């Protein structure tokens, strides 16, 4: 007899960080056998979610089943002050943790990620941020097959940032990341923003609140 899994959504706590990092690492590239970047086990989490967990933990939610945490939804109400905080505290700590690779040579995926901590990121156009001031990041482990669970968790996050004054949210997806493009598309209401001046290789998907 198939059994229906019970899922619960709750606020993020600091002690959840290792579990969130683990999901982030496992779902980063499902095509890689084994753990990606075994020499730097925290690298993917540090790059994709660490700033949220450290600087904007109040807007974090986790999804749990009977085996533990299996998804997360993270965000920040206004990305502009968040980026400033990252530049002042999070990025310098990452530059200490990861040496700058030699950009003259062919870099591995891990080295490219490390290099990103040492390079100035392109800012987003004001015309975009005035409509979508909130940055979000959501992911769910591949073992979670019920799509309504992701929608519920996304709903918690969007309600939280809307209650704190936001009128639009966006997410950043790597251009070649078909899984995440499908994921956000299926959640509904997220549309690809086509505008000049966006970072190359990144697709921005936004929705009004």
- What are the tokens at 171? 């997410």
Give residue 118's pLDDT: 93
Q: Where would I find the H helices in 68-136?
A: 79-85, 91-97, 109-116, 126-129
Place of tokens 């992911």: 139
How far CA 44 is from CA of 55, 114, 191, in Å, comes to 17, 9, 26
Alpha carbon distance 156, 146 (integer Å): 17
Q: pLDDT truncated to tens, each residue of the chain (209 aa)?
A: 445 688 999 999 999 999 999 999 888 866 555 556 778 889 999 999 999 999 999 999 999 999 999 999 999 999 999 999 999 999 999 999 999 988 778 888 888 889 999 988 878 888 889 999 999 999 998 888 887 888 899 999 999 999 999 999 999 887 777 878 888 877 766 677 766 656 667 788 888 99
Give residue 90's pLDDT: 95
Cβ neighbors of 15 (< 8 A, separation 6 or more) are none
Tell how strand 202-208 and strand 134-140 pair up.
unpaired
């Amino acid at each position: 007899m198939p059994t229906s899994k019970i899922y619960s959504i709750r606020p993020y706590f600091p002690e959840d960080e290792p579990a969130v990092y683990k999901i982030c690492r496992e779902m980063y590239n499902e095509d890689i056998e084994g753990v990606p970047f075994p020499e730097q086990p925290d690298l993917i989490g540090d790059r994709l979610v660490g700033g949220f967990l450290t600087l904007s933990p109040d807007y974090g939610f986790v999804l749990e089943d009977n085996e533990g945490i299996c998804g997360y939804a993270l965000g920040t109400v206004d990305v502009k002050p968040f980026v400033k905080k990252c530049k002042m505290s999070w990025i310098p700590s990452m530059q200490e943790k990861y040496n700058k690779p030699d950009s003259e040579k062919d870099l591995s995926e891990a080295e490219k990620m490390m290099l990103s901590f040492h390079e100035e990121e392109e800012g987003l156009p004001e015309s975009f941020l005035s409509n979508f001031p909130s940055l979000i990041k959501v992911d769910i482990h591949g073992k979670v097959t019920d799509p309504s669970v992701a929608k519920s968790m996304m709903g918690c996050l969007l309600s939280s940032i809307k209650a704190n004054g936001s009128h639009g949210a966006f997410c950043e997806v790597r251009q070649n990341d078909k899984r995440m493009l499908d994921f956000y598309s299926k959640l509904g209401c997220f549309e690809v923003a086509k505008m000049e001046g966006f970072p190359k290789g990144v697709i921005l998907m936004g929705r009004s609140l």
